Amino acid sequence: MTAAPQNVALLGATGSIGRSTLDVIAASAGRYQCYLLTAHQKLDELAAAARQFVPRYVVATDAEAAASRDWSDLPADTELRIGPDAIAELVAHDDVDIVVAAIVGRAGLEGTWAALEAGKRVALANKETLVLAGGLAMRLAAERNAQILPVDSEHSAIFQALQAGKSNEVARIILTASGGPFRHHTLEQLEQVTTAEALNHPTWKMGPKITIDSATMMNKALEVIEARWLFDMPAEKIDVVVHPQSVVHSLVEYVDGSVMAQLSPPDMKLPIQYAMSYPERFPGPARRLDFTIASAWEFQPPDFDRFPALLLGKEAAERGGTTGAVLNAANEAAVQSFLDGEISFTDISRACRAALDSHDFDPNPTIDQLLALDAWARREVSAWITCC
């Protein structure tokens, strides 16, 4: 490589997306180097990554956890910063070329927002940014000449398939869903699902929150909202199909009946690399399909009765405004309550439905309103759990 490596700010370096991003950087033959690595509480893993990649900065966002650790094992050329405010400052630095936004949930919003304000290329794994404030985020990106490139395998697939035609030639986009571990469960069986069962995903290895979202199919609901904003596509042109093998990552149907799909083994390193390298491609560490092995791929319509989260996502994508922020926050709170043993698996969608029905809808909110509603929805779920 003769060109200077691009500096990568990796927000959420110790999660599943963060670790895969580090694999991509390590295999990039000098195309990329770490400028910033962040983590919340997995600080030993953060320090280990710093020793391997020697970034200019590491940020430990949990001040209490950071204060209790001896940081003498950091490389001499790596500076420690503590607290979430440091992320917003450092992603805006002139030396940063790419920001990989991989912090899960609402906590990832501020760093992503700061990167967009600074006009950076954002490889976006944090779907909550677009779910919570999609219209505002896309407007900000346009105003600051920032780029949002999708890391979600489904949205990366759509992004690639959309290059086969013009936007006015798209009939619909089709998000594929693995269906999670319970696609054959009855409603009665879903009522009895345990935390351990819900955390056992048949295809993907992910963090606990995202794994539960996959089991409820809320992840697909959030992806419908994300796709609505990312591709400027009305909700009625966004469909979901269950594809248990997770090889066809999504499809785009054009007005002439042609359907374009992106296929690859279920490995997040490929969409991460493409979000970083677009429009170029180069050999990377992602696994390849082996067409010498016989295989079959299934496609099934989703069951909205057993997985009502999908309807919540469709509603939020259609209405826009404040609905995405409320749904996202309510889901985060409900999932944590399920993981803590406070509610049942099927209560997750019920709690989200209750929060959506109770909130004061605004079609044109400000970012401050959305953040206030985020906090309100979490309180509303706690109240719902207490009374119901």
Distance from chain centroid for Cα 144: 22
Q: Is 16 annotated as a binding residue?
A: yes
- How many whole angstroms separate alpha carbon 190 and alpha carbon 177? 18
Q: Is 176 annotated as a binding residue?
A: no
Q: Could you give phi then psi for residue 123, rounded to 5 degrees?
A: -85, 105
CB 262 within 8 Å of CB 250: yes
- How many whole angstroms separate alpha carbon 30 and alpha carbon 169? 39
Q: Is 169 annotated as a binding residue?
A: no
Q: Is 214 annotated as a binding residue?
A: yes
Q: Is 89 annotated as a binding residue?
A: no
Q: Is 201 annotated as a binding residue?
A: yes
Q: Could you give phi then psi for residue 261, rounded to 5 degrees?
A: -135, 155
DSSP notation for 286-353: S----TTS------B---TTT-THHHHHHHHHHH-TTHHHHHHHHHHHHHHHHHTTSS-TTHHHHHHH
User: By C-alpha distance, which of 17, 269, 14 is closest to 127?
Assistant: 17
**Dihedral-angle region of residue 170 (phi above 0 means left; psi in -120 to 50 means alpha; beta otherwise):** beta
Q: Is 128 annotated as a binding residue?
A: yes
Q: Is 337 annotated as a binding residue?
A: no
Q: Is 178 annotated as a binding residue?
A: yes
- Count Cβ atoms within 10 A of the Cβ of residue 283 and give its class: 0-12 exposed, 13-18 middle, 19 or more buried: exposed
Q: Is 332 annotated as a binding residue?
A: no
What Å distances lie between residue 263 and 30, 160, 382, CA to CA?
Answer: 27, 11, 41
Q: Would you say how long the chain is, in residues? A: 388
DSSP notation for 143-180: HHT-EEEE-SHHHHHHHHHGGGS-GGGEEEEEEEE--G
Q: Could you give phi then psi for residue 53, rounded to 5 degrees?
A: -105, -15
- How many whole angstroms separate alpha carbon 219 and alpha carbon 96? 30
State the DSSP code for 58: E
Annotated binding site for NADPH: 14-17, 126, 128, 207
List, as residue ranges, the binding site for 1-deoxy-D-xylulose 5-phosphate.
Answer: 127, 153-154, 178, 201, 214, 219-220, 223
Residues in binding site for Mn(2+): 152, 154, 223
- Per the annotation, binding residues are 14-17, 126-128, 152-154, 178, 201, 207, 214, 219-220, 223
